[in-house]
Amino acid sequence: MTIFLTGGAGYIGSHVLLCCLEAGHKVVVLDDFSNSSPEAITRVEELTGERVTIWRGDIRDGTLLRQIFDRHHIDAVLHFAGLKAVGESVADPLAYYDVNLGGSVTLVRAMAAAGVFRLVFSSTAAVYGDQVLMPLTETSALAPSSPYGRSKRMVEQVLADLCAADSRWSVAVLRYFNPAGAHSSGRIGEDPRGVPANLIPYAMQVAVGRYPELVIFGDDYPTPDGTGIRDYIHVMDLVQGHLVAMKYLADRTGYHVWNLGTGRGHSVLEVIRGIERVINRPLPWRIAPRRPGDTAQCWADPARAAADLGWRTSRGLDEMLADHWRWQAQNPEGYLS
């Protein structure tokens, strides 16, 4: 198959790219490199011995998208390109609606014009917002609490409406929980621009000495140790979820939604202890007040993906942290190292 990967140089996209190439697919990547480096693709090419066709440009550029669909015979689209920082989305909501919602609408228009109707979309557990009942199933209420989460929820709605209006569409919406880890080679991984917003990348940068200490946002949550609980999923398990979802869509139409999580939550303190085991020394940390907008706990019920796709995660927190650490230790400054 020829797969069109938007945002293919990013953290998750680059890992999916690697596995698509290993599975024998041809891949065309579109990325504006606003939050990634072309070096990620070079490294994937080195690891696989395969070449990738790269288009540098913006997902909102309909003319460019038409050109890409004219030039390549695309069978399926995996859509990762977008903005993902919750805090930034509160400060600059228009950017999030423009890129995430506007970009997705532009993409599906270009797909329809080219007669390509198979799409896998990167959604997020952020569409559930602050919920009391755990674990979250795909039918849990949707109450996103940030413009980021709302922009993803809106795209989900657009895709559902599209599938209802035109039976040729075949769409998988994948709601990721908290991706972490890296490919076991240590050659590709998460390389956030600026100060990392997420726990594991920040803690790993403390471990390599880029920051003096980790700040724990709150130890007074109603959880067993008082710190926030999340469902951390190894990026390679997440990748497998995309491959099986794409296979599922091959002979089915309609709109399908799956949670991609492990079904298990870990607290911030558990993650810190895991990192300390991996780096074999204490990680400096201190407690600070809660981060506005954070929820106490969030973990998935992944039963639907298991039943429909036969997909289950196989990597636990320790392997995730060891792989993330290998990448960070070998590339302390990310792709600039």
Q: Which residues inside 177-216 make contact with ligand NAD, applying CB under 6 A?
A: 179
- Residue 21 backbone dihedrals phi, psi, to 5 degrees: -65, -40
Nearest to 329 by CA among 187, 180, 179, 178: 187
- Per annotation, catalytic residue among 96, 148, 221, 248: 148
β strands within 127-181, DSSP E: 170-176, 178-180
Strand partners, 56: 31
11 binds ligand NAD (CB under 6 A): yes
217 binds ligand UFG (CB under 6 A): yes
> Using CB under 6 A, which of 3, 4, 5, 7 touches ligand NAD?
7
DSSP 12-64: HHHHHHHHHHHTT-EEEEEE--SSS-HHHHHHHHHHHS---EEEES-TT-HHH
Nearer to ligand UFG, 141 or 164 (CB): 141
Judged by CB under 6 A, which stretch of 11-19, 158-166, 267-275, 296-304 contacts ligand NAD? 11-19
| Cα distance between residue 310 and residue 223, in whole Å | 31
DSSP letter (8 states) at residue 5: E
Torsion of CA 221, 210, 91, 9, to 10 degrees: -110
Residues constituting the chain: 337
233 binds ligand UFG (CB under 6 A): no
Query: Is 297 in a helix, a strand, or coil?
Result: strand
> Which among ligand NAD, ligand UFG, none contacts residue 31 (Cβ within 5 to 8 A by kind)?
ligand NAD
Nearer to ligand NAD, 32 or 118 (CB): 32
84 binds ligand UFG (CB under 6 A): yes
For residue 251, the minimal CB distance to ligand NAD (Å) is: 26
Our answer to whether residue 232 is catalytic in this structure is no
> Which among ligand UFG, ligand NAD, none contacts residue 35 (Cβ within 5 to 8 A by kind)?
ligand NAD
Nearer to ligand NAD, 29 or 162 (CB): 29
Q: Which residue has the tokens 């403390």?
A: 206
For residue 291, the minimal CB distance to ligand UFG (Å) is: 5
Q: Which residues bind ligand NAD (CB under 6 A)?
A: 7, 9-13, 31-36, 58-60, 80-84, 99, 103, 122, 124, 176, 179
